[in-house]
Amino acid sequence: MVHGFKVLGGFGLVWVVFLIVLSGCGNSAPSTPPTNCSDHIQNQNESDVDCGGPSCGKCISGKACLFGVDCESTNCVEKVCKALSTCTDTLKNQDESDADCGGKICRACINGKACSGNEDCDSKYCSKGICATLPPPASCTDSLKNQDETDLNCGGVKCPKCALGKSCSADADCAGNSTCMEGECATPTSCSDHVKNGKETDTDCGGSSCKKCTVGKACEANTDCFSNQCDKESKKCKGSTGGSCRDLTQNQDESDADCGGSKCQKCQVSKMCKIAEDCQSNYCLEGKCWNAPPKTCLDTVKGGDETDIDCGGAQCGPCKSGKSCRLGSDCATQICASKVCQ
């Protein structure tokens, strides 16, 4: 065999190698068919038929894409190849605020075109999303509510103060002695000035600040009346007019609704009173029933933590106006200024 191999020489060696390779290939899987980008089928990894992907050519505008590199324009928008945008294609694209204008690339828009900000407009004024003529500078005589005005040409830091009935944010917005009450300039309210003012529904009663009104007084809502009954037609508080201790109305000689006086039960703490006998505690101070103080608060001596003789502090009742105090709670009025009840 050795001599035979030598006889074959180089040619015999090549033939043997070929046979070995051929026998090995007979057991392998068939090779993958070659890539075809012209078979009119979307296959392989094409993004559209015969285009896109890493193997085939670029897709034209209108064909499907996954990435910009799939497109001839390199512009893949919502998985569709699109031509590169310009400022003369009569389309609203790129960052334009209207067709072919606005944004950072195209020219500014004329009046009437859509805008997102002042820089989109020739006029440098974008009003409610539309380019418009720039208005004159704001002033206190332009018949517009602008700047920091609280009402038309009044209020705020720059303009005159507002008249009664005008809108306000603070007392400083209102002219004269008027104050800002619930967003409106109004005359200061007093619930004992015998004048119907402020939010009162009748003289010194009703509204959100003063006491409730008795039967026959004007009202706007049930909450304006002691009886919690405001007649819708007459706009007056209604209830029993004969007088009783159960009509939710302060009548007869009652010191408060249904208590005090000679006929009704005594009033609880915080109810109004005229004399000590109107109160369950038998202690009436400045028209209001209070808890009866201990005996040490009736000894006509300033002791304990009293802020004045027999009043103030944690144990005794509140002090009358003019008496010494440390806190508002020491005073029947709840106002302590310069250590004196006001």
Size of the chain, expressed as the number of residues it contains: 342
Q: Detail the DSSP E strand segments found in the chain.
A: 76-77, 80-81, 126-127, 130-131, 179-181, 184-186, 284-285, 288-289, 336-337, 340-341
The pLDDT score that the predictor gives to residue 179 is 81
Please check the confidence at residue 125 and state whether its pLDDT lies above 60. yes
Q: Is 105 buried (19+), middle (13-18) or exposed (0-12) by CB count in 10 A? A: exposed
The answer for residues whose C-beta is within 8 angstroms of residue 263's C-beta and 6 or more apart is: 245, 252, 253, 254
Instruction: With beta carbons less than 8 A apart as the criterion, state whether 236 and 218 touch.
Output: yes
Q: What is the pLDDT of residues 157-177, one digit of tens each?
A: 999 999 988 999 998 999 987
Domain segments of the chain as ranges: 195-251, 253-292, 301-342
Residues 225-270 have pLDDT tens digits of 877 889 999 999 987 555 678 777 788 889 998 899 988 999 998 8
Structural contact between residues 158 and 137, judged by C-beta atoms closer than 8 angstroms: no
Distance of alpha carbon 135 from the chain centroid: 29
The per-residue pLDDT for 165 is: 84
- Exposed, middle or buried by CB within 10 Å (0-12, 13-18, 19+), for 39? exposed
Across the chain, what does the average pLDDT equal? 84
In tens, the pLDDT along 66-116 reads 999 999 888 888 999 987 778 888 888 888 999 999 998 899 999 999 999
Q: What percent of the chain has pLDDT over 90?
A: 41
Alpha-carbon gap, residue 69 to 65, rounded angstroms: 8
Q: Residue 275: in which H helix or E strand, if any?
A: none
187-191, 269-273, 324-328: segment of lowest average pLDDT: 187-191
Unique residue bearing structure tokens 């006509």: 300
Query: Using one digit for the tens of pLDDT, what is the confidence trace for 184-223?
Result: 887 776 787 788 887 889 988 998 778 888 888 999 998 8
Q: Write down the pLDDT at residue 189.
A: 67
